[in-house]
Structure 1
Amino acid sequence: MCSETYSSYNPNSPRRPLNLSTKPNWLATLPASVVSTARPKADSAVLLVCEHASRFIPEGLGNLGLDEAAAQSHIAWDPGAMAVAERLSDALDATLISQKISRLVYDCNRPPESDQAIRPESEVYNIPGNTGLTAAQRAARTDYIYRPFQSALAEAVKTRPQTVLVTIHSFTPIYNDMPRAVEVGILHDSDSRLADAMLAAAAKNPVFRVERNAPYGPEDGVTHTLAEHALPRGHLNVMIEVRNDLLANEAGIAAIATWLENLLTSALNELDGET
């Protein structure tokens, strides 16, 4: 079970140096930084993001009350997504920002007000450690997981002359006992320029079954990162979802990464001059 305890925590107070005696016990088991940035000085306009890169749950949260199988499953992270993102970062010489903490602790692709930011259940699993949290407990996770990630991403966008925001995700082939035929989803919010160009390029070389806004769409709340960091500034953006059975081994990861590299490059060439 979850062991979150507090003495005096005020989420609205100015940020001070950490004093773990006045903060939730689980903060002592966080890594020094919850955000990883690879190739921070890369030349490419492409900025890669992997919000669900890790299944790490801080020890002080006791696996959120889940058994080991559930805590290691797709509900905790996007299997294979980080491996694809890393290959794309290398191939494109692109900065990659990723989250080191499981989305079960806080889903960094959701705003704090979303009931999906800290889920009490996911697919067929109840998550005891996310049930009945106080406002202070939710605020602590927001402040120490979500906000550092958003700050790192905002800084990366701000300091670049141009940004093409590309988020990398994976999804399970069977969800709530329903098989999913789509293999790659190209998702967008109100700005579909990059998604349109990628879908057009994919149609010319139909290696995978590719669909628009599948298996999720903006109506499901999955485009938060795009809406927060690209739409207000008019930056090209897209969210990519890959069915995770295609990422089960190195050969599959390499094939998807190469295909996505070519797809992105072709689409960006078509949109040359836009940001």
Structure 2
Amino acid sequence: MMVQSQFFTSDEAEPVVVENADGKSRVLLVCEHASRRLPARFGTLGLSEDVLASHIAWDPGALAVTRLLSASLDATVIYQNYSRLIYDCNRPPESPSAMPVTSEIYDIPGNADLSDAERFARTSALYIPFHDRIGELVAARQDPVLVTIHSFTPVYHGKHREVEIGILHDTDARLADVMLAHAAGASFKVERNEPYGPEDGVTHTLRLHALPNGLLNVMIEVRNDLIQDEEGQRVAADFLHGLLVAGIATDAS
């Protein structure tokens, strides 16, 4: 708490937000990259407003889709309320990408040459409270299903990505397998472990909370040009709702 009080000003938002805490669904929806907000003490990290609005700072549309799924499933949501440029809560503290010096084609001046003390402060203020709260929510539920929601840029390092929705998993593919089977022939181009996979370190939250506890789990990536507006967000959320319900029903049968 002392580290947090020094890290944030008194009028800044809490780093971890839980919505629909009493949701009746087994599903716990996690959105690690929900916000582009920066704590006041960091200014702009030396970046322009255009860069701070881009995918390197957050996952555009991901929280909106997460909230729609929360409403349709009656599921609890937990999300990180600050930019992943300060701390990427889907990475462990020892990972270079937890506090990235570069992201895609952009250097991040405010993350250069971080001291051990600064890395510890960010970890203590952002990463630990976030994952502690996920752990509490998991422990309070019987047989929860952990679902993390992300979005990705359609063009990365100049290359266009054809995949529209990625269904990602680590060593436990139970839920992903059923979702992918039900996505066959869908209007969306859906692929397994694309545009990233566990070898890229993107399944940290699943590894931390789901795999050790044997929980059904999946990570979902939606291409962000498809969820720029309310209609696109609704269409994507409706599609994902169907896949999740089918996957969970198969597990229960």
Q: Which TM-score band (shorter chain)?
A: over 0.9
State the Cα distance separating 1:30 from its structure 2 match: 7.2
Alignment of 1:238 with 2:218, yes or no, is yes
1:14-34 Cα distance to aligned partner (Å, 9 max, x none) = x5586x6xx4xx532773521
Contact map agreement 1:30 1:58 (CA 8 A) in 2: no
Superposition TM-score, scaled by structure 1 size: 0.89
Spell out, residue by residue over 1:92-121, the C-alpha distance to the aligned partner (whole angstroms, 9 max, x if none): 000000010000000000000111100000
Q: Please say if 1:220 is aligned against 2:200.
A: yes
2:236 alignment counterpart = 256
| 2-structure distance, mates of 1:223, 1:180 | 20
- Give the Å deviation of 1:246: 0.4
- Taking only the aligned residue pairs, the percentage that are identical comes to 55
Deviations 1:136-188 (A, max 9, x none): 00000000011110111000001101110000000000000000000000000
- Within the alignment, does 1:96 sit opposite 2:70 as a pair? no
Distance in 2 (alpha carbons) for counterparts of 1:143 and 1:30: 19
User: What is the Cα deviation at residue 62 of structure 1?
Assistant: 1.2
Give the one of 74, 77, 85 matched to 2:58.
77
Give 2:58's aligned amino acid.
W
2:189 is the alignment partner of 1:209? yes
Q: Partner letter of residue 217 of structure 2? A: N
Contact kept, 8 Å, 1:29 with 1:59, in 2: the verdict is no
Match of 1:186 among 167, 191, 194: 167
Q: Structure 1: which 5+ residue stretches go unaligned? A: 1-14
Contact 1:108 1:149 in 2 (8 A): yes
Alpha-carbon distance between aligned partners in 2 of 1:264 and 1:207, rounded to the nearest angstrom: 17
RMSD: 1.4
Looking at structure 1, the residues matched to 163 and 91 of structure 2 have their Cα atoms a distance apart, in angstroms, of: 23
Contact 1:110 1:116 in 2 (8 A): yes
CA shift for structure 1 position 258 = 0.4
Of structures 1 and 2, the one scoring higher in RCO (CA 8 A, sep 6+) is 2
